[in-house]
Amino acid sequence: MSFPHRTSLNATRRAAELDALAGGEVVDLLVIGGGVTGAGIALDAAARGLSVALVEARDLAFGTSRWSSKLVHGGLRYLAKGEVRLAHESAVERGILMTRTAPHLSRPLPQLFPLHENVSRGGAGFVMAGLRAGDALRRAARTPSALLPPPRRVSGPEALALAPGLRTNGLRGGLLSFDGQLTDDARLVVALARTAAGYGARILTRLRVTTAAGDGVEAHDLVADRTVSLRARSVVNAAGVWAGSLVDSVRLRPSLGSHVVVDGATLGIGGTALTVPVPGERSRFVIVLPQRNGLVYIGLTDEPFDGPVPDEPAAPAADVAYLLEVASSVLERKLTDADVLGSYAGLRPLLEGTGRSADLSRKHAVLRAPNGVLTIVGGKLTTYRRMAQDAVDAAVAAASLTAAASPTQSLPLVGAASRPALSTVDATPRLVASYGTEAPRVAALATLDEDLGAEVAGEITAAEVVWAVRHEGALDASDVLDRRTRIGLVPARADAARDRVTDLVHRALSGLTPAT
Ligand SMILES: Cc1cc2nc3c(=O)[nH]c(=O)nc-3n(C[C@H](O)[C@H](O)[C@H](O)COP(=O)(O)OP(=O)(O)OC[C@H]3O[C@@H](n4cnc5c(N)ncnc54)[C@H](O)[C@@H]3O)c2cc1C
């Protein structure tokens, strides 16, 4: 796939593009926030032929977009609330992402609902009816069953074959279904931003907006420690849970969701996710999510969050204890604090006055302030593309811009290819799942300099650190550890790798590493 502009993001490009904009160049659309929503908007607008700048206070995916469950949902939870249109939209967006825009960054995830003695026959029937409804959504969205097979009941031995760590006592079988899973949420954001850059969008990190108006923003450049004024014909605030700090009229009521990180070998569930019923509740579940790298993320809580919004929320000890306890209820081996390798928490950007779950309907999500700034909040990672399309439609209408129709439904992100094509890419499956068709270029770095073939943490190599700096806009070790790779989800591994990564970042920024 070739793009009209370069897709590489790096410090040199950032400096040149920021200088041009600070020098007075006016863009059609300026988007504040480099999460999945902002990056999606930048791509949508740039692909329609608009001139675009994205300004992000810290780093791509610094906010909520890296703290998700990394699922591409089919909309079942919306259906359960009677939100049929939203459920359909979610299923459609899941299909678009998994088959066209980002097959390389997503995969079908088998999910098992274990049937132990505490799940009645009626309860199992209720869950199966929900799974069948979810499958009807898949069919309506025309996502092939070869990709996401229909749900089915499995026997006790089959359940154990899928997830050997399940508690055998009282196990009479399970309900097996499939949903979409991302390689990683932050990597999706980086791919979106790079694809937007490929259509000419200027992606500017370390630029904190201090004042937003309908015709531009004032921002603090954290690299050069200076204030810049950027001018635009329209401004979209996609600052997520921080959106209210830029536009007074936007009132958010964040909700905190926590996950625990454990070693998959401890649980013995292989590649199958578990949906664990919360004892005493009919439709609340804890999800146990195996990752490609052998880790397992266990989530998810949903608690109202009061007080100032922190840069990086922490998972409360009570959430960690609750998640371990519920997950353990279906496992042979009970999980304890000693099993916890890490934990993370994110804040859902919910509009005040809406329900607790994040299913804002789109018509409530794009708000126009008296000064002309458009704010987009709510939605889900899964529906980013549709949200972006709506936000750009609103900006085009409000500022009378001339733009083509949104092409993003059929626009592959950088590195994307069909699943059959991806299976022939000459690189390890792990690299292909992170870099898609670019994986051989990442691997080639190690052939140019054998030091770059060395691992810095787990299977992550020095070559990936260099790639992150030269092509993915990483400006320091934290960008690499916490967002380009997710080494930081296990703090002990990040601590062990930090000095080496810092040195590699320095060398790459100084042009002392080979390029591919
Ligand atoms: C625990 C949890 C689990 C979830 N799981 C899933 C899931 O599995 N699947 C799914 O589809 N959805 C999931 N979601 C929802 C999804 O993660 C969010 O809806 C989505 O990530 C929000 O993205 P965003 O871009 O709107 O916000 P953010 O990702 O928070 O992006 C906002 C950005 O704005 C920047 N910013 C803030 N202030 C300024 C400023 N003044 N100047 C410049 N930049 C600024 C921030 O640094 C940040 O990077 C989950 C949410 C939570 C909390």
Other Cβ atoms within 10 Å of 90 Cβ, number: 27
Tokens of 336: 């304890």
Q: Alpha helix locations (H) across 97-239?
A: 121-140, 156-162, 185-198
Residue 63 CA, closest ligand 1 atom number = 30
Question: In a mutational test of the pocket of ligand 1, which residue from 261, 380, 390, 482 has the highest number of ligand atoms less than 8 Å from its CB?
Answer: 380
Q: Which residue has the tokens 């908007």?
A: 41
Question: In a mutational test of the pocket of ligand 1, which residue from 68, 109, 185, 252 has the highest number of ligand atoms less than 8 Å from its CB?
Answer: 68
- The gap from C-alpha 231 to its chain's centroid, in whole angstroms, comes to 29
CB 38 less than 6 A from any atom of ligand 1 = yes
Q: Which tens digits make up the pLDDT trace of 428-438?
A: 999 999 999 99
Q: Which residue has the tokens 């998810």?
A: 300
Query: How open is the CA angle 143-144-150, to the nearest 5 degrees?
Result: 95
Label each residue of 390-431 as H, E or C: HHHHHHHHHHCCCCCCCCHHHCCCCCCCCHHHHCCCCCCHHH
CB 55 less than 6 A from any atom of ligand 1 = yes
Q: Which tens digits make up the pLDDT trace of 197-254?
A: 999 999 999 999 999 999 999 999 999 999 999 999 999 999 999 999 999 999 888 9
Ramachandran area for residue 125 (φ above 0: left; ψ -120 to 50: alpha; else beta): alpha
Tell me if 214 sits within 8 A of 29, measured CB to CB. Answer: no
Label each residue of 105-137 as H, E or C: HEEEEEEEEEECCCCCHHHHHHHHHHHHHHHHH
CA 327, CA 334: separation in Å to the nearest integer?
8
Q: How far is CA 428 from CA 24, 216, 275, 431, in A?
A: 46, 45, 30, 5
Tell me if 197 sits within 8 A of 9, measured CB to CB. Answer: yes
Residue 381 CA, closest ligand 1 atom number = 11
CA 113, CA 128: separation in Å to the nearest integer?
9
CB 48 less than 6 A from any atom of ligand 1 = no
Question: In a mutational test of the pocket of ligand 1, which residue from 65, 300, 360 has the highest number of ligand atoms less than 8 Å from its CB?
Answer: 65
CB 180 less than 6 A from any atom of ligand 1 = no
CB 54 less than 6 A from any atom of ligand 1 = no
Other Cβ atoms within 10 Å of 214 Cβ, number: 17
The residue whose CA has the least distance to atom 51 of ligand 1 is: 68
CB 380 less than 6 A from any atom of ligand 1 = yes
Ligand 1 geometric centre to CA of 93 (Å) = 17
Q: Indicate the pTM of the whole model.
A: 0.97
Tokens of 246: 């830029």
CA 482, CA 475: separation in Å to the nearest integer?
12
Helix (H) or strand (E) holding 286: strand 285-290
Tell me if 233 sits within 8 A of 29, measured CB to CB. Answer: yes
The residue whose CA has the least distance to atom 6 of ligand 1 is: 68
CA 493, CA 481: separation in Å to the nearest integer?
9
Give the pLDDT score at 362.
Answer: 35
**Strands in 430-504 per DSSP E:** 455-457, 460-461
The residue whose CA has the least distance to atom 41 of ligand 1 is: 209
Phi then psi for 113, rounded to 5 degrees? -100, 105
Q: Which tens digits make up the pLDDT trace of 432-468?
A: 999 999 999 999 998 888 899 999 999 999 999 999 9
- The gap from C-alpha 161 to its chain's centroid, in whole angstroms, comes to 30
Residue 69 CA, closest ligand 1 atom number = 8
Tell me if 350 sits within 8 A of 254, measured CB to CB. Answer: yes
Phi then psi for 174, rounded to 5 degrees? -165, 170
CA 392, CA 146: separation in Å to the nearest integer?
34
Ligand 1 geometric centre to CA of 65 (Å) = 4
Give the pLDDT score at 353.
Answer: 61
Query: How open is the CA angle 84-87-90, to the nearest 5 degrees?
Result: 150
Tokens of 288: 């146990």
**pLDDT tens per residue, the chain (516 residues)?**
789 999 999 999 999 999 999 999 999 999 999 999 999 999 999 999 999 999 999 999 999 999 999 999 988 888 777 888 889 999 999 999 999 999 999 999 999 999 999 999 999 999 999 999 999 999 999 999 999 999 999 999 999 999 999 999 999 999 999 999 999 999 999 999 999 999 999 999 999 999 999 999 999 999 999 999 999 999 999 999 999 999 999 988 899 999 999 999 988 889 999 999 998 887 789 999 999 999 999 999 999 999 899 999 999 999 999 999 999 999 999 999 999 999 999 999 887 764 444 444 433 579 999 999 999 988 899 999 999 999 999 999 999 999 999 999 999 999 999 999 999 999 999 999 999 999 999 999 988 888 999 999 999 999 999 999 999 999 999 999 999 999 999 999 999 999 999 999 999 999 888 777
